[in-house]
Amino acid sequence: MKSSFSEIIKDSTPVLVDFHADWCGPCKVMAPILKEAKTSLGDAVKIIKIDVDKNEALATKYQVKGVPTLILFKNGEQLWRQSGVIQKDEIIKIIKTHS
């Protein structure tokens, strides 16, 4: 069963949303970093990827002007956001801060 975006971000587990695009070079750099962060954090975080070209309404709703943009949600609330490439240790630190 496919959950809606609004249902997913209401989770009590932090949800890191990666707004990305297929044509974006920095997004390609970000993908393995997010995979490593997920491996390190396990079930402490959910990481989902949103293609801005296929989900323009969501990108507009969250005012995503550049990709990659990472937004951390918990219980439906936006806790943190940043655009650009972010290193794994920084991502882990941010997620642990908001867990």
Active site residues: 24, 27
Tokens of 84: 């650009």
Place of tokens 């402490």: 44
Q: What is the 3-state secondary structure (H, E, C) of 10-75?
A: CCCCCEEEEEECCCCHHHHHHHHHHHHHHHHHHHHCEEEEEECCCCHHHHHHCCCCCCCEEEEEEC
Q: What are phi and psi of 53, to 5 degrees?
A: -75, -30
